[in-house]
Structure 1
Amino acid sequence: MGTIKKGILGGVSGKVGTIVGVHWKSSYYIRAHAAKVSNPRTPKQQEQRGKFATVFGFLKTIKPFIRIGYKEFTEEKSAYNAAMSYMLKKVVINSEKEITIDFNRVLVSTGSLMPVFEGTATASEGKIFFNWKDNSGMGNAEDTDITMVLAYNKDKGMAVYDTEAGSRQDEAAELMIPDEWQDDELIAYLSFRSADGSSVANSVRMTILS
Structure 2
Amino acid sequence: MGTIRQGANGSFRGKAGSVIGSSWKGIDYIKGLPKKRTKGATEEQLIVQARFYAMSKFLMPIAPILRLGFGQVNANRMTPTNAALQQNISQAVVGSYPNFELDYSKIMISSGSYIGGGAMAVSASLGVLSVDWDFSLSSLYDSKADDQVIILLYQPKADEFVTTPTPATRANGTIDITVPSHLLGAKGHVWIFFADRKGTKVSRSTYLGEVDLV
Normalising by the smaller structure, the TM-score range is: 0.7 to 0.9
1:119 is aligned to 120
Query: Does structure 1 retain, via aligned residues, the 8 Å contact 2:110–2:205?
Result: yes
What TM-score, normalized to structure 1?
Answer: 0.77
Taking the aligned partners of 1:98 and 1:127, their CA distance within structure 2 comes to 33
Which residue of the partner structure matches residue 155 of structure 1? Answer: 157
Deviates more, 1:63-72 or 1:131-140: 131-140
Change (3 A) 1:186 1:138: farther
Q: Quickly say closer, same or farther: Cα 1:36–1:206, change in 2 above 3 A.
A: closer
Distance in structure 2 (CA, Å) of the matches to 1:163 and 1:90: 29
Counterpart Cα distance in 2 of 1:98 and 1:138: 47
**Distance change (3 Å), C-alpha of 1:95 and 1:177:** same
CA contact (8 A) 1:71 1:199 kept: no
How far 1:181 moved relative to its partner?
A: 1.0
Q: Is the 8 A contact 1:165 1:174 kept in 2?
A: no
Consecutive unaligned residues of structure 2, counting only runs of 5 or more, are: 1-32
Identity %: 18
Matches within 5 A, 1:1-210: 35-38=36-39, 40-73=40-73, 74-95=75-96, 98-137=99-138, 139-140=140-141, 141-162=143-164, 164-208=166-210
Per-residue deviation, residues 77-126 of structure 1 (Å, max 9, x unmatched): 11111111111112111336610111111111111211121111111222
Asked if 2 retains the 8 angstrom alpha-carbon contact of 1:143 and 1:169, the reply is yes
- CA 155–33 in structure 1, closer or farther in 2 if over 3 Å, else same: closer
Taking structure 1 as reference, are residues 75 and 167 closer, same or farther at Cα in structure 2, changes over 3 Å only? same
Give the C-alpha shift of residue 70 in structure 1. Answer: 0.8
Gaps of 5+ in 1: 1-31
Counterpart contact for 1:149–1:175, Cα < 8 Å: no
CA distance in 2, matches of 1:104, 1:79: 20
Aligned to 1:25: none
Aligned partner letter, 1:162 = T
Q: CA deviation at 1:138?
A: 5.5
